[in-house]
Structure 1
């Protein structure tokens, strides 16, 4: 359903809810202001670009999105990707990559891929989220401690080696301001939960730094003066070589934006008891990223923390998100020039808290109790995110999870001979009703019959007794089968035909039956040899045994 939630919510919109949405939007804007600046700087761009992203991208996500409470803006998940793109291709490269991501997101939405994002396993999402959190934390050490390092390595291990080698350059004044800022962020919620601790930390640290003229880095000393003017439309110079080199980073941004925004929407649904429109949300995310890029912003997606803050403060419609963007615009115009006085160590403290809140650290405590396959997927994804990159982590994680899932499903699948079983009801009924049971073999396939389990069936086929007159395959407990499984059945039928053994398939569920019908296998084996029930299977088997030497065995029975 491609209808923005805003249009649905406005049908029964009340004055009371309007004032709640305004209040929530204002509070979220205050929260988003320092965060957007900190995330922009950590991503390697100037501070105002984070605000441009939150204003433009956040507005479009609320206006066109499929969630009633989603708040859009820059998030910590993009820091590493954006930093890497800028380092390799510059700001123009980032704009092109973000445009590519926006186009892919719109295509994903139009192709209705939104509902498929839920099939990404939790160990993968928690693994790369926690990995990103560690990576963000590792990028803030220089500013937090005030280390004098001319060029910080981009790789994780060399970066930490560089930190330890330069620990003798710590600026203790810088460190004290950073710890002071971190303390305020941690303790302020006990004083007041409405006003964000990040804002109080910025105000307090800035005042102290300015009044006492402390010798520490500020935004102004790092970036110069900051303009609070509105962003201008920027169309990048593109060529095919640049587009080719940025296709994969663009797709990575698109996938990450889709996963994070839809996870945020799912969390929000649980908090408000609603249901988001996933495909409409992807289209909105795509449009937001395209507009953000054209106005010099960075990638944008649904922000879980800001969305939760919106809900907790009474926001229940996209109007709150729109108000958040408008208020943020006014704050940017009025206060952004003064942000040059903010200490860099305070922004580092904010991002350290972002990384802490972002990571799913409780997963590590549950690893011993978790299935080994899930633990392996989590640890592999987590490690690859830290030591390599997010693209590798997600790709390897999904492939590994897929293989482990297939193994798990193949372990569940079972092929067994059941005619001599004392526990199987169908087998006992056969023994009682079949006139010459020594001329019949009865096998059962249980579980998903797909390429991962087909090997089991092939191994059992080698041991089957083809000297019998009738071979019955019981398939009541086969919920689904694929082309490889069909090929195995086709091979079995050919073997039966060579040995003059009649093949009966019993209890085929709908999906396997429809699949075999499409392949023409039902006509090949004969409809009379596809028996839905135990009674029909007995009747057909007895008929074949009675007419085994006549052509009448090929005719349909009753």
Structure 2
């Protein structure tokens, strides 16, 4: 079903480069995997299992050469909310269901649809997620004790305020050291794995100078097992499936967006092109398998994918080698991870939140003070103060309403006065001459759909003051016609015909003409009243009018309309005899 040429033409030297890139990314992924898991309300080893298993499967089955998958910061608020409300085992089921959804999206080739989500929505919820991640690290940074994880932002802020009297100076010192390392090492030593250093140095300082004074992975979570993840099938029931379908859908949508966005970024860095539908299939399978080993939902990680490319990756083997490296690290170094202070993990997530906030884009859209600004701020506030599910739903709904409003305003209906003098034997609509009261000519520009259909009918109905004999509707610049537009058009034409008028349609494109046929408009108007040229439509209209009843022609025996009508009747007589 999907052609895969990502592994073709590889050389030994390419595999060496992939090994180096895989190890480099693995060094970055290990601290992030643990940090994202902890922030999501689960034990740190589950983040490492996700990094290894999802990373392997997406590299093997995905649609990008360079994609690195694993737990990401974007998932933190969703996963934490699911854990708090439903528990860890239900999180695994929701992740499995999201995997099925992603797989189906890829199979049915829906990969292109995700890119139609407005930027104001994605920036809004991304910035909101960044705020939640950043604020969620304040407690560990300050070393606060007795904090209870809550579902809502304001509740967590109140928890921090209530427990400010438990501030731990040692935690603040370690947090500041970690933060300074994260800021300055990339500037001074760009090749040094900054995340690993930002964990190792604070861990050594705590062990040497103030052991047992700050919370560590070991003291809070009991350490990380020095073993491979075990296969386990969650207990799935129908009630659980119904209960979790909404959070699963949010995981799937966010996972799809994040993965394809990461793949697009990698395309821009390398000049290669990814297969979006295959990528969704790979992400779907990864998210179906990972929960069976205790892992949390995964998606394409933009920062790690960029690191993979910058480290010289050539093929998906780099992602496979990254997974092998992470598994080896679990087996060899798991006991040492117990000593990592949580205060050292906090600044890592704070930096992640800062980098993902896209604050420049956020304030740029906000300054526009247009509909997009309203969508942005609505999505942002709902993400922070309610939840991501509600934020995305309302953001998309609001964006859709704004889009429909803008599209309806694009529709333009202009009344044209056909020039009654002949130009080379034909009537012309290019110049305005004497207005013919027996003919009304309207040029429609823009889509005639449900958002604009009523406006279209209202404009023309109001414009027809004295009932003309012929109504010409020019559809040259109408790209499409929907059911509602067709219904309003039918209502207008029926009302006009009941008054004794005739409707002529000119220059409708194939799609619009086909829609008119399917809706019965062609039969209502009459196939003979459809013309490919506006001039021909005007010529035919002049034949249909009764010049003796015209308020202009009846006063002049030599009227242009009469002469044109007579010339056309003579021409038709010669053509039929």
The equivalent of 2:442 in structure 1 is: 443
Q: How does 1:21-420 map to 2 (within 5 A)?
A: 21-214=18-211, 215-370=213-368, 372-419=370-417
* 1:347-388: CA deviation from partner (whole Å, max 9, x where unpaired): 111111111111110024313542511111111001100000
CA distance in 1, matches of 2:436, 2:501: 14
Partner of residue 538, structure 1: 538
Deviations 1:252-281 (A, max 9, x none): 111110011011111111111121111111
The 3 A distance-change label for structure 1 pair 235 and 56 is same
Within the alignment, does 1:486 sit opposite 2:486 as a pair? Answer: yes
Structure 1 residues 188, 491: CA separation in 2 closer, same or farther (over 3 Å shift)?
A: same
**C-alpha separation in 2, matches of 1:379 and 1:398:** 13
Deviation for aligned residue 1:433: 10
2:470 matched to which residue of 1?
470
1:225 CA displacement: 3.1
Deviation at 1:158, TM superposition (A): 2.5
Q: CA deviation at 1:154?
A: 3.0
CA distances 1:415-448 after superposition (whole Å, capped 9, x unpaired) = 23222899xx9x9924879999331001121111
Query: Take 1:436 and 1:293, find their aligned partners in 2: how far apart are those partners?
Result: 74
| Deviation of 1:462 (Å) | 2.7
* Map of 1:19 onto structure 2: 16
* Secondary structure of the corresponding residue to residue 471 of structure 1: strand
Contact 1:413 1:445 in 2 (8 A): yes
Q: Separation in 1 of the partners of 2:79 and 2:548?
A: 73
User: Could you give the per-residue CA deviations for residues 238-264 of structure 1, whole angstroms, max 9, x where no partner exists?
Assistant: 211111111111111111100110111
Structure 2 Cα separation of the partners of residues 428 and 178 of structure 1: 82
Distance 1:266 1:370 in 2: 26
Partner residue in 1 for 2:428: 429
Structure 2 SS opposite 1:452 = coil
Q: Residues 454-513 of structure 1: CA distance to partner in whole angstroms, max 9, x if unpaired?
A: 121121233224621110011111111211110111112211211111101111123211
* Alpha-carbon distance in 2 for matches of 1:94, 1:354: 23
- Would the aligned equivalents of 2:419 and 2:430 in 1 still touch at CA under 8 Å? no
- Checking the alignment, whether the CA contact within 8 Å between 1:434 and 1:541 is kept in structure 2 is no
CA distance in 2, matches of 1:262, 1:85: 24
Greater CA drift, 523-532 or 182-191: 523-532
Q: Contact conserved, 2:125 with 2:392, CA < 8 A, in 1?
A: yes
> For 2:461 and 2:536, how far apart are their aligned partners in 1?
28
CA distance in 1, matches of 2:140, 2:308: 30
- Would the aligned equivalents of 2:418 and 2:436 in 1 still touch at CA under 8 Å? no
- Cα deviation for residue 517 of structure 1 reads 2.1
> Structure 1: which 4+ aligned runs deviate by more than 3 Å?
430-436, 546-549
2:430 pairs with 1:454: no
Structure 2 counterpart of 1:512 = 512
User: Which one has a bigger Cα radius of gyration?
Assistant: 2
Deviation at 1:396, TM superposition (A): 0.2
Give the unaligned 5+ runs of structure 2.
550-567
Change (3 A) 1:335 1:186: same
| C-alpha RMSD of the superposition | 2.5
Cα shift readout 1:98-153 (whole Å, capped 9, x = no counterpart): 11101111111111111000100001011101100100111111111001234243
Kindly tell me: are residues 435 and 412 of structure 1, through their superposed partners in 2, closer, same or farther at Cα, counting changes over 3 Å? closer
Q: Deviations over 1:176-205 (max 9, x none)?
A: 010001110111112332332110011101
- SS of aligned partner of 1:325: helix
> TM-score scaled to structure 1, two decimals?
0.93
Look up the SS of the partner of 2:413 in the other structure: strand
Which stretch of structure 1 is more off in the superposition, 459-468 or 207-216? 459-468
Residue 528 (structure 1) aligned with residue 528 (structure 2): yes
Contact 1:219 1:344 in 2 (8 A): yes
Normalised TM-score (structure 2): 0.90
Contact 1:102–1:288, Cα closer than 8 Å, also in 2 = yes
Shift of 1:223: 1.0
Once residues 390 and 364 of structure 1 are traced to their aligned partners in structure 2, the CA distance between those partners, rounded to angstroms, is 17
Give secondary structure in 2 for the equivalent of 1:228.
coil
Q: Return 326-335 or 296-305, whichever deviates more.
A: 326-335
